[in-house]
Structure 1
Amino acid sequence: MYEQRWIQLTLLIGLLWFLMGIAWAPSNKLYQQGIALAVWLPALIALWGSRALWGAVWRENPLFCAALLAWCAWAAISLFWTAAEEPLKPLKRIVYVMLFLVAFPLLQVVRPQAIGLLLRVATIGLALAALWSLYLHFYAHVRPFGERLGGIGEAAHPILGGYVMALAAVWGLQFIPRGLPLRLLWAGLLVLLFGFVVLTQSRGACLALLFSVLSMPLWSGGRRAWLIAGGIAVGALVGMLRFGSWFMERGVSYRPEIFAESVSMMLQRPWLGLGIGSDYHVVTANYPAGFDHSHNLLTHVGIELGLVGLLLWLAVWLCTLLAGWRERATLEGRLLLGSVILASVAVQTDAASIWGTPRAEWFLTWLPVGLALALVARAASVKMSDSVKMASQR
């Protein structure tokens, strides 16, 4: 079933809509509906006819599969003690997440180049969104240069939009074309993405992007990786010397106080947590009105799902990182590593949402996991093909 052309085409369009629609979708409702129709629905239809594939994926990486299933199961079990007003809503979101994740292997095993193509096209589309954002900010709305830049669509928030564009910049560094004219054009797209991230004045996004790029020589290798990392390091140093006041004038934005209070809240219900979908407020001495999340994904998971949930999520994330490391010699492996390293830094200070509807935070949580599952499925598919060839030769 999953090999049928209409399934593959729909998934391709749906995942591209997820990647680019975050900026270009006219409304959040249309963005959600597009993902439901073009990702969740075909993935659900294709599930039954793909039992052999999932068996092969399990045999290829049982630890990853077990950690992911246990994580989702624990989230579902927490509905028995959740304080959520509508317990069925979090349950639906668990199902939506699982359907989103299975879409990547379903596409990868039939169209091995699809994931790389999707991220390449998304890089171009998001760079154009960055250009349009710059036009609106500085020309149409005549904002002053020092005012924080926001994107368009669902990437309009300076922080979350900055993370989306930072990911696109990391992907773009893996797609540098051959030939001087094309390289100059691609360099222009990268300048737009890097410039967007800096102009959002999001310290988390800038730090995550810098950390991901500086780590490139460790997992990408080659002279080009060292040149890129060195150039970005020099640019970052010059930028901090010239524009450091932009980034430091807001102080630390209550982050240390929020983290300390979040840990205290987590330890109040250390094993079970509040349950998936439970609302909570992090109240600090300096901000008695309270924050509606912990501004840190790990403490957020700990508050909602306890230490059990936190350990399961860390297991999923570690398996995601290892899947990229094993495939670092391939384009898809490098794309995953760049994404997961950036996301690992980003979620320390922002993006404390994991079970919400598809949004910018999914780029930092579920997208890397989906890319990792695609790599596992590719390895499993190769072994399946080899087994079939050996059987036919007997």
Structure 2
Amino acid sequence: MTTHVSGSLPLPRTEKYSLWVIRFMLPLGWLALLTGMFWIGDRSLYHKLFYAFLAFPTLLAVLLSPLQLRQLFQSLLLRTYVLFALYVSLSLAWSPERGELSLIKYPLYVLMMLFAAALMARHYPNLIIKTTLLSAGIASLSALVTLAWYLKQGAQGRLEGYGALYNPLLTTHIYGFYAAFWLAAWCSKVRISPWITLPALAIVLLLILCTGSRTPLFALAMSMLWLTLARPNRRTLFIVGSVFVGFVGLILIDPTLLTQRGASFRPAIWADAWQQIRQDFWFGHGFDAAMRIDLPEVGHTLADPHNLSLGVMYQTGLTGLILWALLYLTALIQGWRLRHDPAVLITGTLVVFGLAAGMTEGSSFLSRPKEHWFLVWIPLALLNVAVTYRIAVREHQTAITSTG
């Protein structure tokens, strides 16, 4: 799908250049964003990949054809994000350090990523679909190589990850994203062979289990619940039944596997964070305000509340939390209304996974590209693409029917 049809007036030269960037540069940048952490080996290089192959080309495509912005901002989700980002940027005015203006670049990075996905979907929807699917395949291959290396090293302790991935929990943010993708792809009966989806899902799930992290397991359970409610069929019921049987079996074999690490001090961390939030309840401490949580039982200072929503509220107050909730509410309502479309169902599952994972981890809701993007912004970008495209197709079909 492109913006012009055969027989129409020739496109201006600048718009042709814009389309060239969208067609050849943005898919490469999208692939780098979704897979770079697996092979780049260094976080600073990963950031540079994003700047060079996605952020800058997206800005260039928009500058060459600025009229596209009007169509992009027809998306309710995109408008809601801009409102949230503007308020977050405004909060720098009352930050303890009176705000580093350079931090405004972080909301702009996310905006460029949202624009990139929307531009590809608008002009070349098959490209973003194929690129995302290729990324999921690379993720499973990376998981297989990582597991092989972990076994070769003796499989001692928790699998932490390699290269740019060095923390068990952060590693599962990315692999959990792809586990949710393969799970939803199989349950939605999208046109991908089960001989691909099920082995890919099994490999990624095995890696997640080797990390010993429970956050992705909880998030995947919520994803299964979403799939069961949104698309009740034999596959979703089979998945839920299998998980229940496995859970009961695990308790019978060794119940300490679930209880030995307790709640990892989460209730105490949240209570301390809440006390700090109450000090600036309505508008927050500001976007660059750093949180410090000192608990004797933890033994070291924590820099975040291990809950994305609490992180949002600490820096932007109740006002920011309302806008954050509005962003997710918009996404989930749209995802539910169009859940019978396989692409919307899959991307809606990714949003649910990220939302659930963010309940027990993190605070970095706006940042450079990192693991948390796979919980928040990449799922929202993909859902926005799927919803916008489905609505456009429906409107096109309605127009043909009415003229016929």
Instruction: Note whether the superposition's TM-score is higher than 0.5.
Output: yes
Shift of 1:150: 1.9
Return closer, same or farther for 1:84/1:382 CA change in 2, 3 Å cut-off.
farther
Shift of 1:185: 4.9
2:161 is aligned to: 151
Return closer, same or farther for 1:302/1:324 CA change in 2, 3 Å cut-off.
same
Measure, in 2, the Cα distance between the counterparts of 1:245 and 1:42: 51
Shift of 1:216: 1.4
Q: Output one character per residue of 1:267-320: Cα deviation in whole Å (capped at 9) or x when no partner.
A: 100122111122120223533642111100111111111111111111011111
1:267 is aligned to: 278
- Partner of residue 324 from structure 1, selected from 307, 326, 335: 335
Return closer, same or farther for 1:126/1:84 CA change in 2, 3 Å cut-off.
farther
Output the TM-score relative to the length of structure 2. Answer: 0.87
Tell whether 2:168 aligns with 1:142. no
Shift of 1:236: 3.3
Shift of 1:149: 1.4
2:7 is aligned to: none
Tell whether 2:119 aligns with 1:106. yes
Map 1:18-97 to 2 at 5 A.
18-48=33-63, 51-59=66-74, 61=76, 64-84=77-97, 87-97=100-110
Shift of 1:380: 5.7
Measure, in 2, the Cα distance between the counterparts of 1:186 and 1:367: 21
Shift of 1:49: 5.1
1:237 is aligned to: 248
Measure, in 1, the Cα distance between the counterparts of 2:36 and 2:210: 22
Instruction: Tell me whether 155-164 or 337-346 shows the greater mean CA deviation.
Output: 155-164
Map 1:255-294 to 2 at 5 A.
255-287=266-298, 289-294=300-305
Shift of 1:243: 4.8
The DSSP-based 3-state class of the residue aligned with 1:154 is coil
2:384 is aligned to: 373
2:3 is aligned to: none
Q: Partner amino acid for 1:314?
A: A
2:356 is aligned to: 345
1:205 is aligned to: 216
8 Å contact kept, 2:208–2:216 = yes
Shift of 1:57: 4.6
Return closer, same or farther for 1:266/1:50 CA change in 2, 3 Å cut-off.
farther
The DSSP-based 3-state class of the residue aligned with 2:238 is helix
1:11 is aligned to: 26
Q: Partner amino acid for 1:309?
A: G
Q: Output one character per residue of 1:367-389: Cα deviation in whole Å (capped at 9) or x when no partner.
A: 12212321343256447857997
Q: Partner amino acid for 1:336?
A: T
8 Å contact kept, 1:104–1:374 = yes
Return closer, same or farther for 1:243/1:88 CA change in 2, 3 Å cut-off.
farther
Return closer, same or farther for 1:21/1:226 CA change in 2, 3 Å cut-off.
same
Shift of 1:170: 1.6
Measure, in 2, the Cα distance between the counterparts of 1:327 and 1:154: 36
The DSSP-based 3-state class of the residue aligned with 2:164 is helix
Return closer, same or farther for 1:176/1:216 CA change in 2, 3 Å cut-off.
closer
Tell whether 2:183 aligns with 1:173. yes
8 Å contact kept, 1:23–1:151 = no
The DSSP-based 3-state class of the residue aligned with 1:271 is coil
8 Å contact kept, 2:172–2:216 = yes
The DSSP-based 3-state class of the residue aligned with 2:198 is helix
Q: Output one character per residue of 1:88-121: Cα deviation in whole Å (capped at 9) or x when no partner.
A: 3311112111111111110111122334323322
Q: Output one character per residue of 1:140-185: Cα deviation in whole Å (capped at 9) or x when no partner.
A: x2233xx21122333331112112212211211344499xx95345
Return closer, same or farther for 1:186/1:243 CA change in 2, 3 Å cut-off.
farther
Unpaired runs of 5+ residues, structure 2, are 1-14
Measure, in 1, the Cα distance between the counterparts of 2:99 and 2:275: 26
Q: Output one character per residue of 1:53-89: Cα deviation in whole Å (capped at 9) or x when no partner.
A: 443454453xx34422211111111111223587133
Q: Output one character per residue of 1:192-219: Cα deviation in whole Å (capped at 9) or x when no partner.
A: 1111111211111111112212331211
Q: Partner amino acid for 1:7?
A: I
Comparing both chains, which one has the higher relative contact order based on Cα–Cα distances under 8 Å and sequence gaps of 6 or more?
Answer: 1
Measure, in 2, the Cα distance between the counterparts of 1:77 and 1:166: 33
Q: Partner amino acid for 2:95?
A: T
Q: Partner amino acid for 2:282?
A: W
Shift of 1:12: 0.9
1:127 is aligned to: 140
Return closer, same or farther for 1:49/1:25 CA change in 2, 3 Å cut-off.
same
Q: Output one character per residue of 1:332-353: Cα deviation in whole Å (capped at 9) or x when no partner.
A: 2112121111112111111221
CA RMSD of aligned residues (A): 2.8
8 Å contact kept, 1:116–1:331 = no
Over the matched positions of the two proteins, sequence identity in percent amounts to: 24
Q: Partner amino acid for 2:308?
A: L
Q: Partner amino acid for 2:155?
A: R
Return closer, same or farther for 1:383/1:207 CA change in 2, 3 Å cut-off.
closer
Return closer, same or farther for 1:85/1:154 CA change in 2, 3 Å cut-off.
farther
